[in-house]
Structure 1
């Protein structure tokens, strides 16, 4: 594949970097959609509507709005269960979509290979209950509720879902769905260019999910990692609080930080924090995020280069 050339580039300096996680550093969209589909079916809601409404927001905020009668003192426990279910789906061996994700889930998965969240919203809209379980829930784990999914060990999932890839025709290759967590393009190089004390993660995911995704992609968990269940965090994205807290923990002014984000709610949070925001088109189409105030919009992190200067500042060069 030939390298893409860009006609323009801009350089600037900053004191540190604040990364969103999922959709920015890692891609676990298939596992996340599977978990929200399971939760939607458990609650009798339309999976598509739930998936569209939850992207980029804290699971605690989503569950409080989705689950009838959920008490505040039980939210942390439910978030832990839910996020463990995401990781359980992520660890499920790849399987044939024709045998498991026929119907709506199949079309969403195909779309995610380019810009998986092209129709997502960053705030919840009224959701319509359904009186039946849609065909979208054909993955073996979907027969269980979210909490029951947690009991499915990797060993059991292998026995129930593994597919003999040698028996799959070439024409069926594109119908294989892999829910594993992946590192996104340019991320490894970017992180390797940064001193450990110069970057942080500020995510809408709780600690279980955040650390689980980073570990699965061999990204070292940074010393500063602000997760959705941080007791100091009163508000999640699209409010700037996660980035403000991460900048403070890193010991830098938010106006001297660079924020990398992929979702509309996260981009809005970064802009509100006063940081320089670089939006990546890894989960949304460019036209969905280019008018939200980000200073730069790039296809992947490969378009951004960083060097540490002799005075400790970071010099960024963005090609576009």
Structure 2
């Protein structure tokens, strides 16, 4: 009898690879949550609901639904401003935070004195069954709420800390055992196994298809040292009529790469992205970097891995790609 701890090994071939970006190649979840928290509080909405609803979808789609009065002719400018705010949060130096978890658990836009937005309630953007995101940096929702103390300075794309911020530069004596000292780091990071996997892929064999617009996509990739591939389909591509969970971004990336979608491998982390990848007809590898396994294992992905360290690729003699997955 084979031991239950013996790993399962799968091998298959493909002609090209399509990567989602955030949560798959890079981890900018802390900065993204900070930006959506700021936007939620600006609109008088619950940050946790907005964060859970927006992951994996284009900022343009999210903003159009969050702000019913948003005009289409203004959306490109709003998306650019929002995505610049993500990068500004990402470039904010780490700060120490001393605060009581108990007090933060009860804080919300309605209890913290935030002004209420004139816009209507949040339209459900995704099924609650998808569950809340699991930050790959393991930041708690409490810390996400505390991001509201960061303020954008639009004049120079910088983030400043409000005077009543819970983030303190100098250490203070902590007498309450429930109070903790946490460092909130919102920098963009490359995820485990990504650099090695990309190095094993020949130029012209892979592409990126992301729900982020060009500003955000290129900003994240360059901050982690990932070379922007020749084929990089972003949310503001004028050829795209629909974003994820529709397969359009992946189908367009496969076309630009010159690969039959059925002969492509897609790496994804979010429910909406996995659904898009499955709909594209490709071999789908789901990565448990932003969601727990039980939140994404039922969405149709062919393989589910914890990190890309479990995936190896070799160039075949016929020019194709041979994959080995330990899962």
TM-score (norm 1): 0.82
State the Cα distance separating 1:294 from its structure 2 match.
Answer: 0.3
SS at 2:289's partner residue?
coil
CA distance in 2, matches of 1:308, 1:27: 27
- Retained in 2: the 8 A contact 1:35–1:85? yes
CA distance in 2, matches of 1:241, 1:165: 50
- Retained in 1: the 8 A contact 2:84–2:157? no
State the Cα distance separating 1:8 from its structure 2 match.
Answer: 1.5
State the Cα distance separating 1:165 from its structure 2 match.
Answer: 8.2
CA distance in 2, matches of 1:266, 1:312: 28
Q: Which residue of 2 aligns with 1:307?
A: 314
CA distance in 1, matches of 2:211, 2:267: 14
CA-based RMSD of the aligned residues comes to 3.0
After superposition, give the CA deviation of every residue in 1:234-288 in whole Å (9 maximum; x if it has no partner). Answer: 0000000000000000001000000000001000000000000000000000001
SS at 1:103's partner residue?
helix
- Retained in 1: the 8 A contact 2:274–2:300? yes
- Retained in 2: the 8 A contact 1:94–1:162? no
- Retained in 2: the 8 A contact 1:37–1:137? yes
Q: Compared with structure 1, are the counterparts of its residues 122 and 187 closer, same or farther at alpha carbon in structure 2 (3 Å cutoff)?
A: farther
Which residue, out of 205, 209, 215, partners 1:208? Answer: 215
TM-score (norm 2): 0.80
Q: Compared with structure 1, are the counterparts of its residues 252 and 174 closer, same or farther at alpha carbon in structure 2 (3 Å cutoff)?
A: farther
Unaligned segments of structure 1, at least 5 residues = 107-120, 126-133
CA distance in 1, matches of 2:146, 2:69: 28
Q: Compared with structure 1, are the counterparts of its residues 85 and 153 closer, same or farther at alpha carbon in structure 2 (3 Å cutoff)?
A: closer
- Retained in 2: the 8 A contact 1:17–1:200? yes
Question: How many positions carry a matched residue from both structures?
Answer: 289
CA distance in 1, matches of 2:306, 2:157: 36
Q: Which residue of 2 aligns with 1:35?
A: 35
- Retained in 2: the 8 A contact 1:226–1:245? yes
State the Cα distance separating 1:188 from its structure 2 match.
Answer: 0.2
Q: Which residue of 2 aligns with 1:83?
A: 83
SS at 2:204's partner residue?
helix
Q: Which residue of 2 aligns with 1:227?
A: 234
Unaligned segments of structure 2, at least 5 residues = 108-123, 129-141
CA distance in 2, matches of 1:295, 1:181: 28
Higher helix share: 1
State the Cα distance separating 1:58 from its structure 2 match.
Answer: 0.5
Pairs within 5 Å for 1:1-320? 7-98=7-98, 103-104=104-105, 123=126, 138-139=146-147, 142=150, 144=151, 148-151=152-155, 153-154=157-158, 163=169, 175-320=182-327
Q: Compared with structure 1, are the counterparts of its residues 137 and 277 closer, same or farther at alpha carbon in structure 2 (3 Å cutoff)?
A: closer
CA distance in 2, matches of 1:257, 1:229: 23
CA distance in 2, matches of 1:17, 1:259: 6
SS at 1:97's partner residue?
strand
- Retained in 1: the 8 A contact 2:31–2:187? yes
- Retained in 2: the 8 A contact 1:308–1:314? yes
CA distance in 1, matches of 2:204, 2:144: 44
- Retained in 2: the 8 A contact 1:202–1:226? yes
CA distance in 2, matches of 1:49, 1:309: 46
Q: Which residue of 2 aligns with 1:117?
A: none
State the Cα distance separating 1:203 from its structure 2 match.
Answer: 0.3
CA distance in 1, matches of 2:322, 2:144: 47
